[in-house]
Chain A
């Protein structure tokens, strides 16, 4: 069953028609990978899905309800969580406090419950030894992990990842893949933007390619990556550079 269905999603910045018509469905506990050349509008799409940007056309239906006009705050409360392409944890808070914010505000937990959940999550994302370190002082991998941890603490139903694997080594990516698999088993659905194609093959159930403002092709990862559409898109992008 679809937890999220997006139809005719479009957005323009002046004469820059970044998204023209994007259509897809995300099923429950599915990991949907999103690929596409630089500047295709993948981050913009995520920003629209979380309510950071308003689309110029199209609709977003989440668990049967149209949420196109809902605010960031409302969507957070409804179960949306996300990470940013450039990680933006709360720098003036320690790793532990970061996760606490997710638990207290995102999941409405009491301070005590949020505290024990925060410890659990820090353990899961491998940041327990650095619980007391200010997020602004963490390295890239730790910041990425922490962003996942904060989103997790808010008890999301749907997690949106914007290039979490970018800049990480292969073994670090494997750690993140393991977290995703565990969460998927717990009932979380994912939209996962990524450039690293190997991650897409291993970590996703389906892959969608975004180019020229449209969902060019969508299907099983191996098929999509081998498709004529995707090779055209990436060849086209290469010629531009």
Chain B
């Protein structure tokens, strides 16, 4: 009995991390209709940056994250402005291919610079248990991941739903030509959108780096996690990523409990396929247009 409760708690906590892994991908899809194949690699790039700054240069994780976010914002602005925006009017496929190229470049650059070894970002909390009774334990690292993940999603929702900046982003997503004629620079809005998404991915990159080991080719693994979250929660629905993340976490941990840890990953994706079959728009998505 306690073991099930333990699985549920860990599943939910893991779900908060999954939500922040997926939310940037959901945003980019919701606003630009672009499936950002480089999402996972951008996240791992941020893990490397944060590791480098934290361990070699500034010695402080928060400052390292801040510098990483600034660098990642510049990089994503450049990617959108000089690569994706050049082809975005030619339909969805060219942008997809551009992001595929970005993904390959990041992965190979990481191998060249950092080598193929496993890395991790030291985390004092990862070995601390917040709750440590004989039956149930709650890992401090997982709890922090959950809180930060939920907070990032909520802040992003606030920016999109409640600010004038978010209003221009939603207008662009609703009717790009109409917004353009009103004087909204929609390609610039797309660049800001990718920046927002990559900022969330950078935070996810730190959390992943502190929780698991990573290496240059880990990106696609998290791309698939993000995909699962977004498909379950609903493509483009930001609040849905919270639900999608937590459901994915629960399904993984419970299937590990009932069928053995080997089933964890498979069960997550079987669940994703089931959702795709019975509710293709995802649990949270309203019927679009």
Contacts and interface: CB of A to CB of B under 8 A. Distances in A.
Interface stretch (A92-100, A181-189, A190-198, A210-218): A92-100
Nearest to B164: A111
Interface in B51-76: none
Interface of A is mostly: helix
Interface string A103-114: 011101001000
A101 B184 contact: yes
Contact of B181 (A80, A90, A135): A80
A55 interface: no
Contacts of B181: 50-51, 72-73, 75-76, 80-82
B171 A93 contact: yes
Contact of B182 (A51, A102, A135): A102
A104 B174 CA distance: 17
Interface residues of B, number: 18
A91 interface: yes
Interface in B175-231: 175, 177-185
A92 B183 contact: no
A154 B173 contact: no
Given A90-B178, A92-B174, A73 B167 contact: no
A101 B189 CA distance: 13
A105 B175 contact: no
A105 B182 contact: yes
A25 to B, nearest CB: 23
A52 interface: yes
A88 B180 CA distance: 13
Interface of B: 164, 167-168, 170-171, 173-175, 177-185, 289
Interface of A: 50-52, 71-73, 75-77, 80-82, 84, 88-93, 97-98, 100-102, 104-106, 108, 111, 135-136, 150, 154
Q: Which 7 A-B pairs rank lowest in CB-CB distance, beginning with the nearest?
A: A90-B174, A105-B183, A76-B181, A106-B182, A90-B171, A72-B180, A92-B170
